[in-house]
Homo-oligomer: A and B are copies of this chain.
Amino acid sequence: MARTGQPQDPVSTPQRILDAAEELFAEHGFDGVSIRQITARAGVELALANYHFGPKQDLFVAVITRRADALNSERRRLLEALPEPPTVEGLIDAFSRPFLEKSVHGGPGWKSYARLIAQTANAARWTRDIMTAQFDPIAEVFLAGMRRALPGAQEEDLYWGFHFLVGAMTLMFAETGRIDALSGGRFRAGDLERIHARLVPFMAAGYRALAEVASGNRASRK
């Protein structure tokens, strides 16, 4: 498209603002960043943030929702491609792999997005409500699949198992570096493929343990 090596409008102003906001919100949280800092990093004037996105809260919502669609449509595609009935491992992989792929190969914006999601999901604020609106529909698809994969499990087990999975995934993709420090640098948060290779069998075994206790309660006490 571009005729010369000189880029003409490489990225639009709204996109520059979104990218800067994503990075800074991820690092400092909603209240830890000013619109001045965002527009300065984006290389645009202060007034343009409000012109394109309205108040600061609306800009935050725009940052969250921008990547949620791409993530969830990929999740839905993988979940619907599973055999019937699906396996526990297949469900967990289909639910977690899109974030893995985006984080590893999607560019630095996806790393910021993962950190932002981790902060927001664990907060007790209006920001968390945006998250549930974005991610609860795909959670229903996951839970419906798990209901068929583990027909002996109690409903309650399916939900709390999902909660454990989400908590682990959230912390994992946030790449906080806690294990780096704890292990003296032997294991690194950036090795997402290595962690994911353990996440799937770990969570699958956990889910199965809950389902087996439920089934076992009907057959034997011990």
Interface residues of A (CB under 8 A from B): 26-32, 115, 118-119, 121-125, 128, 132, 136, 139-140, 143, 155-157, 159-172, 174, 176, 178-179, 181-183, 186-187, 194-195, 198-199, 201-210, 213
Q: How far is the CA of A140 from the CA of B207 in the complex (A)?
A: 27
Copies of this chain present in the complex amount to: 2
Q: Which residue of B lies closest to A133 (CB)?
A: B181
CB < 8 Å neighbour of A125 from B28, B160, B162: B28
Known A156-B194, A159-B183, A160-B179; contact A29-B123, beta-carbon cutoff 8 A: yes
Q: With a CB–CB cut-off of 8 A, which chain B residues contact A176?
A: 121-124, 128
Q: With a CB–CB cut-off of 8 A, which chain B residues contact A204?
A: 209
Q: How far is the CA of A201 from the CA of B213 in the complex (A)?
A: 9
User: Could you list 22 examples of A-B contacts with CB < 8 Å?
Assistant: A26-B124, A27-B125, A30-B32, A119-B119, A119-B123, A121-B122, A121-B178, A122-B176, A123-B176, A132-B178, A136-B182, A160-B199, A161-B198, A161-B202, A163-B179, A164-B172, A164-B199, A166-B171, A168-B168, A201-B210, A204-B209, A205-B208
